[in-house]
Structure 1
Amino acid sequence: MKNFKLSLSLEDNPLKIKDFRFFIIGHFVSFTGSWIQNTAQIWLVYELTWSALYLGIFNFLSSFPTIIFTFISGILIDLFNRRKLLSLVAFFSIFPPLILGILTQFKLVTFWQVTFLAFLSGCLSALDVPLRQVFISEIVPMKFLTKALSFQALSFNTARILGPFFAGLIISYGSLYQCFYMNALSFIPFFIFLTFFIKTTKQKEIKKIEKGEIKKSYKEVYEFLKREKKILNVIISTANFTIFGATAIILLPIIVHKIHGKGGKEFAFLSSILGLGAIFGATLVIFWKTNQ
């Protein structure tokens, strides 16, 4: 810790940049909606099936696009204008939760409908998450980038706490389907900001990808990871946590209902606790400076 000092001045504060303020507000609102839906969606699956097996199937199929399509998303990010692409992703992200809300409200929803719509949302998320991270580099100068990414992580994990908390309130005092409508609405500010307010300061030149270049790119990544063992270790550690740790939330309905005899409200509030540690870590990155 002797190599670090606490800096409350935030001289390199990315919030000074108007475009980044629009981005982080839209980012926070949309992810709060996403966590509202994620929480309500898991409880909906449990109410439809009362089965740990179906919860596992749902979790696998809804996460599958992220595992597979994230590899392809990097290619799309380089092929298209990132602001326009992110706007399109935000726009199309409105429809799966909207449809799920309608199906749930009119009691037409089935397990496979929930799973299919979650799969569609997962496909969009596989492009959305890396695209947001790359897009930040186009709206903030390089000297602000580290803290800009930390603010993004902080807003994401704050949403990770508030989203399930709001879901618990909605489940307690409203109806489950309202959670899905809330998520659909949450993408609208982000879409508006991206379309009308945020202007990129720099845009990486969009180049046409030639035949064989995709294969070459993957080979370069493979060679890079072979050389950079530390990066590979970070990826392996992250994958290990994602597979065996982060997915533990899918078991919470079983614990809450079968062991403690509680319901959706308690499940939602328990889910909100999971983001506390990540908020602490992101806050440290924002306020601690390295002595060079």
Structure 2
Amino acid sequence: MFRSLKYRNFKLFFYGQSVSLIGTWMQKTAVSWLVYRLTGSALLLGIVSFVSLIPSLILAPYAGSIVDRHNRYRILVITQVVSMLQAGALAFLILFKFYNIPAIIGLSLVQGVINAFDVTCRQSIMVEMVDNKADLPNAIALNSTMTNFARIAGPAVAGIILSTFGEDVCFFGNFLSYIPVLACLFMMKLNTAVIGKPQKGIWQELQDGFKYVSGDRDLSSLILMLTVSSLFVIPFNTLMPIFAKDIFNGDAKTFSWFESAAGIGSVISAVYLANLKTDKNLVRIIIVAGLIFGASVLMVAYAGKLPFALIFMSFTGLGMMAQTSAINTYIQTHAIPAMRARAISYYVMAYQGMIPVGSLMVGWLANELGPRQAVFIEGAIGLLATGVFVLYKRRQGIEGNIGGKAMLAK
């Protein structure tokens, strides 16, 4: 499971990001709780999530072209430094009790712009950290394990800090968490390829990337499925502060339990993916994960007691993590090297870029129908989307068999 850690660069990346991502989840949990505590508005919760992720929808393809054209290591260092400055600004804002919702939304937007470049760069640079490309799927799975362990630890720590010290300590914790990741980055010795002068303009490269992804039926169908999931299913998590505070009469610690429960499920599926010996069954894993994800969201919607809701939340994390990580692994292992960053950028756009639109939609839906009904609808759409994907793959298989027989007949 841990074979990718034998590579020094990936090991440094893994340890540094582990600390930083815990801080990121602490801040995410604190922002959601703070906004709902101050406003009591489900719609504003959706808006905060929207502005923190919408830049990925607009900028991700552009970021993919930029990353393909320039030194990925330098881009990664720049995005981490700027992220640290953004975290510091938010920490000082809350320290001086300047509870200004537009300012919090503005800083969340800044972080979203940074992430559009940072996530694409982090995903595409992993191939340069692993000497043996056969270990790349394992590195991707370990990276996902790290991310989802932070999803457990970050909200859990945030819940304790929020109830004991307040939001400002969470924000300063995230600010300080960038120190180890920058230290690890500076200790790396990456043999990054020398980037020649681009022969094409950025607009032409954007077009080339779109033509490549849309022309590959396997890649495009997976990205389309992820788009539907990110738009209509994953945003159910936006309403968890309402479930914690209003439906189950809890506090910040209760809310952190919801995030941590989903994180536990995510780690379980990430460990499973990290132990895979081959990537041949990724499509099957994506289908099963989609079914688990949709069904568990349905169960969360009408869970009558908190322990049952938390159990079902762990299954939502398991399904969502397996689905998104398996799609990510498939893209990275099947995209041609010249198009890898651009292919990943469409993954980022479909994943992070659609969630904010979905967050606004589910926030509005919760205001109109209620939070339980809104989450139930999201789970039903998840099951329907997985069913449509299964039918498409079966039809594709039938067409492939017919085409193969026709070739043999000729």
> In 2, distance between residues paired with 1:151 and 1:185?
24
Could you tell me how far 1:290 is from its partner in structure 2? 3.2
| AA of the residue aligned to 2:28 | N
Question: Contact (CA 8 Å) 2:61, 2:206: kept in 1 or not?
Answer: no
> In 2, distance between residues paired with 1:117 and 1:226?
34
| AA of the residue aligned to 2:196 | K
1:120 maps to 110
1:169 to 128, 152, 160: 160
Q: CA distance change for structure 1 residues 73 and 222 in 2, over 3 Å: closer, same or farther?
A: closer
Q: Which runs of 4+ in 1 moved over 6 A?
A: none
> In 1, distance between residues paired with 2:81 and 2:251?
33
2:146 maps to 155
Deviation by residue 1:111-152 (Cα, 9 ceiling, x = unmatched): 111111111111111111111111111121122211111111
2:336 maps to none
Is 1:67 matched up with 2:71? no
> In 2, distance between residues paired with 1:57 and 1:285?
33
| AA of the residue aligned to 2:95 | Q
Could you tell me how far 1:15 is from its partner in structure 2? 0.8
Question: Contact (CA 8 Å) 1:70, 1:126: kept in 2 or not?
Answer: yes
Is 1:203 matched up with 2:192? yes
> In 2, distance between residues paired with 1:85 and 1:218?
19
The structure, 1 or 2, with the larger RCO (C-alpha pairs under 8 Å, 6+ apart) is 1
Question: Contact (CA 8 Å) 2:62, 2:206: kept in 1 or not?
Answer: no
1:49-88 equivalences under 5 Å are: 49-88=39-78
Could you tell me how far 1:80 is from its partner in structure 2? 2.6
Unaligned runs of 5+ in 1: 1-7
Could you tell me how far 1:214 is from its partner in structure 2? 2.6
Could you tell me how far 1:225 is from its partner in structure 2? 3.1
Is 1:14 matched up with 2:4? yes
Specify the SS of the correspondent of 1:93.
helix
> In 1, distance between residues paired with 2:39 and 2:80?
31
| AA of the residue aligned to 1:192 | A
> In 1, distance between residues paired with 2:279 and 2:220?
26
Unaligned runs of 5+ in 2: 281-410
Specify the SS of the correspondent of 1:66.
helix
RMSD of aligned residue pairs (Cα, Å)? 1.9
Could you tell me how far 1:164 is from its partner in structure 2? 0.8
| AA of the residue aligned to 2:195 | I
> In 1, distance between residues paired with 2:272 and 2:261?
19
> In 2, distance between residues paired with 1:114 and 1:132?
26
> In 2, distance between residues paired with 1:171 and 1:94?
21
Deviation by residue 1:179-218 (Cα, 9 ceiling, x = unmatched): 11111111111111112x1111x3233133345x333323
> In 1, distance between residues paired with 2:8 and 2:126?
12
Is 1:221 matched up with 2:212? no
Question: Contact (CA 8 Å) 1:86, 1:128: kept in 2 or not?
Answer: yes
Which one has a bigger Cα radius of gyration? 2
Percent of aligned positions with the same letter in both sequences? 31
Question: Contact (CA 8 Å) 1:256, 1:263: kept in 2 or not?
Answer: yes
2:231 maps to 243
Q: Which moved more, 1:99-108 or 1:74-83?
A: 74-83
Could you tell me how far 1:277 is from its partner in structure 2? 3.1
Alignment: residue pair count = 279
1:3 maps to none
Question: Contact (CA 8 Å) 1:48, 1:110: kept in 2 or not?
Answer: no
TM-score normalized by the length of structure 1:
0.89
> In 2, distance between residues paired with 1:106 and 1:62?
23
| AA of the residue aligned to 2:219 | I
> In 1, distance between residues paired with 2:116 and 2:65?
12
> In 2, distance between residues paired with 1:221 and 1:264?
43
Question: Contact (CA 8 Å) 2:29, 2:256: kept in 1 or not?
Answer: yes
> In 2, distance between residues paired with 1:68 and 1:91?
22
Specify the SS of the correspondent of 2:277.
strand
1:104 maps to 94
> In 2, distance between residues paired with 1:59 and 1:288?
33
1:277 to 265, 279, 298: 265
Could you tell me how far 1:291 is from its partner in structure 2? 9.7
2:185 maps to 194
2:18 maps to 28
Q: CA distance change for structure 1 residues 63 and 226 in 2, over 3 Å: closer, same or farther?
A: closer
Could you tell me how far 1:281 is from its partner in structure 2? 2.4
TM-score normalized by the length of structure 2:
0.65
